[in-house]
Amino acid sequence: MASLLRRPLQFRIIVIPAFLATIALLHFAISNTYQIKNAISYATRPLWDEANGPKEIISHYYAEGMRMDSHACQLHGWKERKGKENIRVMDAILMSSELDLLEIRMNELDSVVDKFFIIESNATFTGLPKETYFANNRARFSKFDNKIVYKLLPGYPLRPGQSAWDVEALTRDAMTAMLREHIRELPSDTPALVIMSDIDEIPSKHTIDLLKTCGFGDSIHLQLRNFLYSFEWQLDMASWRASVHLWRPNVYYRHSKSGNRMLADSGWHCSYCFRTIPEYIVKMKGFSHSDRIGGNMRLLDPRRIQETICRGKDIFGMLPEAYSYKDMLSQMSLDPMTSAVGLPRFLIDNAARFRFLLPGGCCATSRKCGLAAQAAASASEKKQVFSLFPSRSDADVWTLWTTGTGVGIRDIVHPF
């Protein structure tokens, strides 16, 4: 150090750039505080957090054509249910925008479910107006008409002091009330099983068949294969929130931990499995994850989103939410699946319509890749894009959408 001071020129050569670098670093840190805090919290998660799902995993046995009988029950440590012919199964979901997954779900479960309970609102949990997707596309589900119990729950702007979580809780309460009312009308000796899961958490048909056949207890969680963007990217087996309950007067509709037992490999959880890029933008701006954007509007650039989902990377440019460094590493560079074995039957039977959900189909259907493809969007896709940017003229939005690399995205996306 002393010798440095004696040589002023070298001193300046070192200190001045160091000073500038420090200023630049400070500027970066201040303008990206949110992202840095997040990166640190995600990078250290394995040290301070642990997976909070059920710990007792029940091995699951299934092969194609297997009979659901006392032997099947025995394999799982259960006894065959008495009066199993009498049991009713209710699938209860809160409607989002995911019509494709809903169609795949209803077809998968049709033969084992007696009623589909669907609640939909004309507002998001944050109180913003929202399309009633199910009501507007009812014809697509007409083959299930006699099984559907539908309720439109009017939504309103949040009241002072009310949060999105409060609205979500009220919506779940409305589902509980609807189930209660319906189940009360069944003959008194009719047991009812209720599937409680989000639309994108799809139990397999044979799982529900097994649970109908065997007395598994009062409730059980379902472990689901966790996919991201499509069935091309499998993250892990860590999805556990879906559950099946034997209905009793004190049971309520929930999406949280209700017990410590979970049946292994019971279906699929396809997160962010949207058909179109605008749906990604809506979701990213949506309530539970809008904090993740952290003011970084570049994240909403449609071309960046397209590229991210085709490479299986994190859509918010963040580290994966992993509880061990082994999982974190493997999820940071996912290998694309080449297998579409063991996926929902309806998806395979209608592979052309659902190409974007299958291996190698990232750019298929409406998730077109490249600007030329974007420009070829259908009228309804255009409408979806325009509705994202109500404060700008359709012509302006269209120019930015089809020519830009996100130029102007910053100002057409209104702040949330």
Q: Which stretch binds ligand NAG (CB under 6 A): 84-92, 149-157, 225-233, 376-384?
A: 149-157
Q: Which stretch binds ligand NAG (CB under 6 A): 105-113, 148-156, 159-167, 359-367?
A: 148-156
Three-class SS of 156-223 = CCCCCCCCHHHHHHHHHHHHHHHHHHHHHCCCCCCCEEEEECCCCEEECHHHHHHHHHEECCCEEEEC
CA–centroid distance for 406 within its chain: 25
Closer CB to ligand NAG, residue 156 or residue 325?
Answer: 156
- What is the distance between the alpha carbons of residues 140 and 350, in angstroms, rounded to a whole number? 14
Q: Which of 154, 161, 390, 415 binds ligand NAG (CB under 6 A)?
A: 154
Find the shortest distance in angstroms from Cβ 291 to ligand NAG.
22
Q: Which of 155, 191, 302, 312 binds ligand NAG (CB under 6 A)?
A: 155
Q: Which stretch binds ligand NAG (CB under 6 A): 151-159, 295-303, 358-366, 382-390?
A: 151-159
Closer CB to ligand NAG, residue 155 or residue 344?
Answer: 155
- What is the distance between the alpha carbons of residues 147 and 137, in angstroms, rounded to a whole number? 16
- H or E, element range at 238: strand 230-239
Closer CB to ligand NAG, residue 122 or residue 350?
Answer: 122
Closer CB to ligand NAG, residue 128 or residue 238?
Answer: 128
For residue 162, state whether it binds ligand NAG (rule: CB under 6 A): no
Contact 374, 368 (CB under 8 A): yes
Closer CB to ligand NAG, residue 154 or residue 161?
Answer: 154
CA–centroid distance for 143 within its chain: 26
Closer CB to ligand NAG, residue 156 or residue 165?
Answer: 156
Closest CA to 192 of 286, 283, 117: 117
- H or E, element range at 244: strand 243-246
What mask of x and - would describe binding to ligand NAG in positions 106 to 135, judged by CB under 6 A?
----------------xx-----x------
Closer CB to ligand NAG, residue 46 or residue 127?
Answer: 127
Give the other-Cβ count within 10 Å of 364's Cβ.
Answer: 17
Give the other-Cβ count within 10 Å of 30's Cβ.
Answer: 9
- H or E, element range at 233: strand 230-239
Closer CB to ligand NAG, residue 130 or residue 205?
Answer: 130
- Burial of residue 123 (CB within 10 Å: 0-12, 13-18, 19+) is middle
Q: Is 107 helix (H, G, I), strand (E, B) or coil?
A: helix
Q: Which stretch binds ligand NAG (CB under 6 A): 150-158, 193-201, 269-277, 298-306?
A: 150-158
Find the shortest distance in angstroms from Cβ 312 to ligand NAG.
35
By rule CB under 6 A, what count of residues binds ligand NAG?
Answer: 6
Find the shortest distance in angstroms from Cβ 245 to ligand NAG.
30
Find the shortest distance in angstroms from Cβ 225 to ligand NAG.
35
The contact set with ligand NAG (CB under 6 A) reads 122-123, 129, 154-156
